[in-house]
Structure 1
Amino acid sequence: MRRVCLTLPTNRPCAATIRAVAEEAAYGARRFGAEVHLLVLDSCDAPALAGHRETVAALPEVPGVVVHHLDEDGQRAFLREVITRSGAAAPEQLLDLMLPSRVSYGACTNRAFLIAEALGCTSVHRRDSDSRYQYLDGQPVFPLHHELASLGRRAADVSALVTRSRLDPACADRPVALVGGSFVGEMSVDVAEIQRLDPSVYEDVVGLSVPADHPEIWRRNLIAESFRGAGTTAFGGDRTTLTSVSPTRVDMCNIALDREVYGRVPLPPATDTIGSDYFLLHLVHDARLPGVLHNRHIVNFHTGERRSDEGFLAYQLRFAKFLLLGPHLDTVYAATRRAGDALLDPDGHVRTAAVAALLRDGARTAPAEGARRLDVLDRSYRTLGGRYATAADALTARRDRLLDEARRDMEDFALLADAWQDLTRASRTHGRPVPQHRESARCTA
């Protein structure tokens, strides 16, 4: 039986989302006959964690669905054993990169990758705690449908299942490595406020996320499309495209990856950095691995915390770190675009060592562009005034540290990439992680 991992990392109360994703897991087991492992990676404080335990315990037992709810103690125990078993150098540093004390979008997904390996899964399907499903005729629209229908199958065989194909025929014999959609609903709440306050400042700020070498017409289109997802059009029927999926067309709350990708290369473990978990989407695209783009978009919403002054400042710092990591990652992406098919070995697998070498090159990118970006942010935020001026003060106070962290984040990424295949091998021989509730008895090896 095909075994897959549907994962929900969370650091906030999300009982309703846990129940909804459990319904999606049940749909996957019922519709496709898969064994779906629902993996909730919980980094919440004690009250929220207790609430989630009650929610998980109350989930109905469903044939073909196994639920794992791991708090950070459980995750840490699993990681420590895997790292020790791997024999990798710098074990304590690796543990910190896999489970840092600060928010890391890449690290939480990397943990899901390793646990999925231990569970014997062939793919990872990621959702987020601040998302909901669309409905059609009273029924939820689950992205897992297209993910299980296409992922891992030969692209030529998938072509009959999709609405259209835009895939290079030369890639038809390669397996589908990625299936994804985006989100609908409100765009990023803080970026939307910048656009409302001053469209020209918005263009300056969001324009920092676009590599400088892009032609002006592409640049303007990318600025116009950034942070908007798939807009606001409600789902009215399936539209799917077999293609080389652009990272700008999908969102990490609505993504599935084949283990032949994440089993070879991890995500950046950068802390407090939005967008740091999109690296594998770029890699899949540049290596010309097939993907399926669908329109079963997740409904995006923002929690009350995101609208608070504390949440606002935290997001602005994460956004700034995203912009500062950009020059380093852009160096890598330029190299992966040039490499193309050379990123793959003769069997069509990603060359881990080649990617790690590019990451080390990216870490050596000069900090001048990062400094320029901070200057633009400072000028733009002070133009907006109010709490943006407060954010500018916070960025100024952290300026040198932020620039240094961007470089070190890339060095850490390269270190993790070097050790990654040892970690995935150790995970596969580890056996299953111990679930922390009643369903552990149903988890047979």
Structure 2
Amino acid sequence: MKRQICLVVPTNRECSATLAEVVAEAEYAEHHFDVDVHLLVLDSSADRTGHAKVLADARTGWHLDEARQREFLSRVVDRAGVAEPGRMLDLLLPSKPSYGACTNRAFLIAAALGCESVHRRDSDLYFQTYAGQKIFPIHAELSALGRPARDVRATEDRLDDSRRDLPVAMVGASFVGDMSVDVEDIRDADGYYDLVSLWAAPGSTDTEKRALVEESFTGSAPFDGDHTVLSVVDPMRVDMHNISFHGLHEKVPLPPATDTIGSDYFLIHVADRAGLPGLLHNRHIVNFHTAERKSDAGFLAYQMRFAKFILSMYYFHFIYERMTTDNPEDIAAIVRASTWQPREPNEEQAHLMERAYRKLGGRFTGVADLIGQRRDMLLFEARRDIEDYADLIDEWAGLVAAARATHV
């Protein structure tokens, strides 16, 4: 029987051109590997007509709007018998944007479809072309994902011998093109360092902060031939719009935090801290910024998500520093413990962030004003998101098991 895999694109915008590229990637995977690809589009956009036309060309396509997603999730939550079904449903499908929650829905739907792996792309990408051919990441993913690490051939092998009997849990790469976080316009501005360095781990030296700022959100070199590294993958080398998981996503969910960037990167850190085998490749996607993000409303919404990301790192740094396993119970305990920290250090981060935005001037002054107005709420939400995440981890095994027994 062929392997069942799930190739997913979450979107809340018109992205027919991207979907056409991903349909081609699905066809490539089925032609070159012994797999059945379930192409899943989780669609929150206002007009889905163009998407439906593109997906009509997919052999096995699942095009689910939020109503259909909610109906499926309601049955999963009911079957799982969770303690607070209404709250759990809200964490899986919140009313506000959540990168983590939309990917969690993909994980559950993939389980329902009998898929052993999930391969995620985003709506603001296309694939590189090299020697007249599209460079599909799924080629590298399917060559290694789920296989015992000892059987995987790579250009470079840096994996410790003690890890070789474990399956490859994650395969990923990065991007070329626009910065993954939309701060490109201010890279040379006075105040850029002050802002971006705020996501550094506590205790980082000035040299470490400057290296982080230089490296942050900048992507990789264009494709010039396949190069792969078998190792425990450095989280700074991969991005969530070019990632795939085997097994790990059914153990631990992603943080369901709303109105923040970065909430969907947690499993990359789990794989790293637990020492799970991974494959890093160079089939990078091409990232681009949509026109909506540059509008006044889009700019302000995005910058506030970035602000909340910085405040969330107070908790995530605590977690990453202590996490050494992919055991869900251990991770949930560390996640909860992170919320017991005093709030004062994060209050200082909010103050420094407001000052950094004001230093940037122009329309960034409006971001500074909004941070000042919403400061207490942002701090409260950053902590509440982590508390919600601990509760979701507790219920995740039951939700995955229920999903496996639920029809889409």
Instruction: Tell me the equivalent position of 1:387.
Output: 363
In 2, Cα distance between equivalents of 1:146 and 1:252 = 15
Deviation at 1:148, TM superposition (A): 0.5
> 2:126 touches 2:287 (CA, 8 Å); kept in 1?
yes
SS of the residue aligned with 1:274?
Answer: coil
Unaligned runs of at least 5 residues, structure 2: none
In 1, Cα distance between equivalents of 2:283 and 2:269 = 21
TM-score (ref. length: structure 1): 0.90
Deviation at 1:71, TM superposition (A): 0.4
In 1, Cα distance between equivalents of 2:53 and 2:128 = 26
* 1:39 partner amino acid: L
Instruction: Tell me the equivalent position of 1:438.
Output: none
Which residue of 232, 256, 263 corresponds with 2:244? 256
- Where in structure 2 are the equivalents of 1:313-332 lying within 5 Å? 313-332=300-319
Instruction: Tell me the equivalent position of 2:160.
Output: 168
> 2:23 touches 2:55 (CA, 8 Å); kept in 1?
no
Instruction: Tell me the equivalent position of 2:7.
Output: 6
In 1, Cα distance between equivalents of 2:71 and 2:78 = 11
- Where in structure 2 are the equivalents of 1:34-53 lying within 5 Å? 34-45=35-46, 48-53=47-52
Is 1:428 the equivalent of 2:404? yes
In 2, Cα distance between equivalents of 1:184 and 1:367 = 37
In 1, Cα distance between equivalents of 2:377 and 2:150 = 49
SS of the residue aligned with 2:63?
Answer: strand
- Where in structure 2 are the equivalents of 1:271-286 lying within 5 Å? 271-286=258-273
* 1:265 partner amino acid: V
Which segment is superposed worse, 201-210 or 212-221? Answer: 212-221
1:105-138, Cα deviation, whole Å (9 max, x unpaired): 0000000000000001110000000011000111
Which segment is superposed worse, 324-333 or 362-371? Answer: 362-371
Instruction: Tell me the equivalent position of 1:353.
Output: 329
In 1, Cα distance between equivalents of 2:52 and 2:287 = 24
SS of the residue aligned with 1:197?
Answer: coil
Which residue of 373, 379, 389 corresponds with 1:403? 379
In 1, Cα distance between equivalents of 2:351 and 2:182 = 19
Instruction: Tell me the equivalent position of 1:375.
Output: 351
In 1, Cα distance between equivalents of 2:208 and 2:273 = 18
SS of the residue aligned with 2:183?
Answer: helix
- Shift of the 168–130 alpha-carbon distance from structure 1 to 2, 3 Å rule, reads same
Which residue of 192, 198, 207 corresponds with 2:197? 207
TM-score (ref. length: structure 2): 0.98
Q: Which runs of 4+ in 1 moved over 6 A?
A: none
* 1:173 partner amino acid: D
Deviation at 1:54, TM superposition (A): 2.5
Is 1:304 the equivalent of 2:291? yes
> 2:7 touches 2:26 (CA, 8 Å); kept in 1?
yes
> 1:327 touches 1:365 (CA, 8 Å); kept in 2?
no
In 1, Cα distance between equivalents of 2:182 and 2:240 = 19
SS of the residue aligned with 2:204?
Answer: coil
Which residue of 100, 111, 120 corresponds with 2:94? 100
SS of the residue aligned with 2:187?
Answer: helix
Instruction: Tell me the equivalent position of 1:362.
Output: 338
- Shift of the 189–97 alpha-carbon distance from structure 1 to 2, 3 Å rule, reads closer
1:11-36, Cα deviation, whole Å (9 max, x unpaired): 00000111110100111111002011
1:220-257, Cα deviation, whole Å (9 max, x unpaired): 22221001021xx3211001000110111000000000
- Shift of the 188–280 alpha-carbon distance from structure 1 to 2, 3 Å rule, reads closer
Unaligned runs of at least 5 residues, structure 1: 344-349, 434-445
SS of the residue aligned with 1:371?
Answer: helix
In 2, Cα distance between equivalents of 1:398 and 1:379 = 14
* 2:54 partner amino acid: T
Is 1:55 the equivalent of 2:54? yes
Which residue of 155, 165, 182 corresponds with 2:174? 182
* 1:335 partner amino acid: R
- Shift of the 188–152 alpha-carbon distance from structure 1 to 2, 3 Å rule, reads closer
Is 1:140 the equivalent of 2:134? yes
Instruction: Tell me the equivalent position of 2:17.
Output: 16
* 1:52 partner amino acid: H
* 2:83 partner amino acid: A
Deviation at 1:281, TM superposition (A): 0.5
